[in-house]
Amino acid sequence: MSDQFDLVVIGGGPGGYSAALYGASAGLKVALVEKDALGGTCLNRGCIPAKAFLETAAVKRHVDHSSDFGIDTAGDATVDFARTQQRKQGIVDGLVKGIGAMCKGRKVEVLNGVGSLGANRAVSVAMADGSSATITGDSVILATGSVPRLIPNFERGGPIMTSDEVLDLDHVPARVAVIGGGAIGCEFASTFADLGSKVTILEGLPKILPGLDADVAKVVQKTFKKKKIDIRTGVMVNGHTPDADGGTTVHFGDGDSVEVDAVVVSVGRRPFADQLGLDGTGVVVDERGFVAVDEYCRTGEPGVYAVGDLINTPQLAHVGYAEAILVVKHLLGESPMPVMYDRVPWAIYCHPEVAWAGPDEEQARAAGHDVVVAKHPFKFNSRAQILGETEGLVKIIAKKRPDGGAGQVLGVHMVGPWVTEQLSGGYLAVNWEASVDEVAEFLQPHPSLSELFGETALSLTGRNFNG
Which CATH number does the domain housing residue 454 bear? 3.30.390.30
Q: Kindly state whether residues 190 and 330 are assigned to the same domain.
A: no
pLDDT 10s digits, 264-302: 999 999 999 999 999 999 999 999 999 999 999 999 999
C-alpha pair distances (Å), 377 with each of 174, 213, 221, 394: 34, 15, 16, 6
Domain assignment of residue 248, yes or no: yes
Q: Kindly state whether residues 315 and 452 are assigned to the same domain.
A: no
The reported pLDDT for the residue numbered 465 is: 76
- Looking at the chain, the number of H-run helices and the number of E-run strands are 13, 21
Domain end among 219, 235, 267: 267
Distance of CA 390 to the CA centre of its chain: 24
Domain assignment of residue 337, yes or no: yes
Domain assignment of residue 182, yes or no: yes
The reported pLDDT for the residue numbered 463 is: 84
Domain that includes residue 110, residue range: 4-148+270-341
Nearest to 47 by CA among 224, 165, 184: 184
Q: Kindly state whether residues 288 and 262 are assigned to the same domain.
A: no
Number of C-beta neighbours around residue 271 at 10 A: 22
Q: Kindly state whether residues 143 and 25 are assigned to the same domain.
A: yes
Q: 26: which DSSP letter?
A: T
b/e per residue 219-254 (b: at least 16 CB within 10 A): bbbebbeeeebebbeebebeebeeeeeebbebbbee
Nearest to 138 by CA among 44, 3, 232, 311: 3
Q: 248: which DSSP letter?
A: E
Nearest to 230 by CA among 256, 268, 212, 269: 256
CATH number at residue 100: 3.50.50.60
Q: Kindly state whether residues 136 and 255 are assigned to the same domain.
A: no
Domain end among 314, 341, 368: 341
b/e per residue 356-384 (b: at least 16 CB within 10 A): bbbbbbebbeeeebebbbbbbbbeebebb
Domain assignment of residue 465, yes or no: no
Nearest to 123 by CA among 142, 96, 149: 142
The reported pLDDT for the residue numbered 11 is: 97
Exposed (0-12), middle (13-18) or buried (19+): which is 465, by Cβ within 10 Å? Answer: exposed
Domain end among 206, 235, 267: 267
b/e per residue 418-439 (b: at least 16 CB within 10 A): bbbebbebbbbbbeeebbbeeb
pLDDT under 70: residue ranges of the chain = 1, 75, 466-467
Q: Is the peptide bond before 352 cis (omega within 30 degrees of 0)?
A: yes
* Residues assigned a catalytic role: 446
Domain assignment of residue 298, yes or no: yes
Q: Kindly state whether residues 358 and 333 are assigned to the same domain.
A: no
Q: Kindly state whether residues 186 and 199 are assigned to the same domain.
A: yes
Domain assignment of residue 347, yes or no: no
First CA to last CA across the chain, in angstroms?
67
Q: Kindly state whether residues 204 and 333 are assigned to the same domain.
A: no
Alpha-carbon gap, residue 400 to 408, rounded angstroms: 8
The reported pLDDT for the residue numbered 335 is: 92
Alpha-carbon gap, residue 293 to 91, rounded angstroms: 34
Domain assignment of residue 164, yes or no: yes
Q: Kindly state whether residues 14 and 125 are assigned to the same domain.
A: yes
Alpha-carbon gap, residue 88 to 53, rounded angstroms: 7
In the chain, the amino acid numbered 217 is: A
pTM, 2 dp: 0.94
Q: Kindly state whether residues 64 and 118 are assigned to the same domain.
A: yes
Q: Kindly state whether residues 80 and 34 are assigned to the same domain.
A: yes
Number of separate domains in the chain: 3
Nearest to 216 by CA among 381, 353, 373: 353
Alpha-carbon gap, residue 144 to 61, rounded angstroms: 37
Domain assignment of residue 284, yes or no: yes
Q: Kindly state whether residues 13 and 138 are assigned to the same domain.
A: yes
The reported pLDDT for the residue numbered 78 is: 87
C-alpha pair distances (Å), 118 with each of 97, 263, 283: 31, 40, 10
410 in Cβ contact with 369 (< 8 Å): yes
The reported pLDDT for the residue numbered 467 is: 60
